[in-house]
Amino acid sequence: AQSVTQPDIHITVSEGASLELRCNYSYGATPYLFWYVQSPGQGLQLLLKYFSGDTLVQGIKGFEAEFKRSQSSFNLRKPSVHWSDAAEYFCAVGSGGSYIPTFGRGTSLIVHP
């Protein structure tokens, strides 16, 4: 069965600093990987996704993620964080014909001014 681990429950960064959110997945074949963001009380918005090809994926809002098969990781990065990036971030893995994503528990990003 596929699974996702987000080892950091909370991450605190200063505005303008760089950011990396960790994601490790477990799946036997080539996974489909996603990062979503959720603001308080809201639904989820897709930041980026990886299905195949270039392992460095560019997303919206200046985010990028790199798929590393050898490490079973798909970490999310941003070079300079803005206060509006404070939110909950979810990594997800999908597989098979249904592509139903399985989500991690999320990482809460706190941005200090």
Contact 21, 89 (CB under 8 A): yes
Report the C-alpha gap between 19 and 87 in whole angstroms: 13
Q: Does 36 bind another protein (CB under 8 A)?
A: yes
Residue with tokens 């985010």: 63
Binding residue for another protein (CB under 8 A) from 25, 27, 32, 74? 32
The CA distances from residue 9 to 57, 58, 80, 107, 111, in Å, are 23, 24, 20, 5, 14
Cβ–Cβ < 8 Å for 108, 95: no
Q: Which lies closer to another protein via its Cβ, residue 79 or residue 105?
A: 105
Whichever of 12 and 45 has its CB closer to another protein, that residue is: 45
Residue 11 or 103 having the CB closest to another protein: 103
Q: Which of 8, 22, 49, 73 binds another protein (CB under 8 A)?
A: 49
Chain positions 58 to 87 lying near another protein, rule: CB under 8 A, are none
What are the residues binding another protein (CB under 8 A)?
Answer: 4, 32, 36, 41-46, 49, 51-52, 90, 92, 98-106
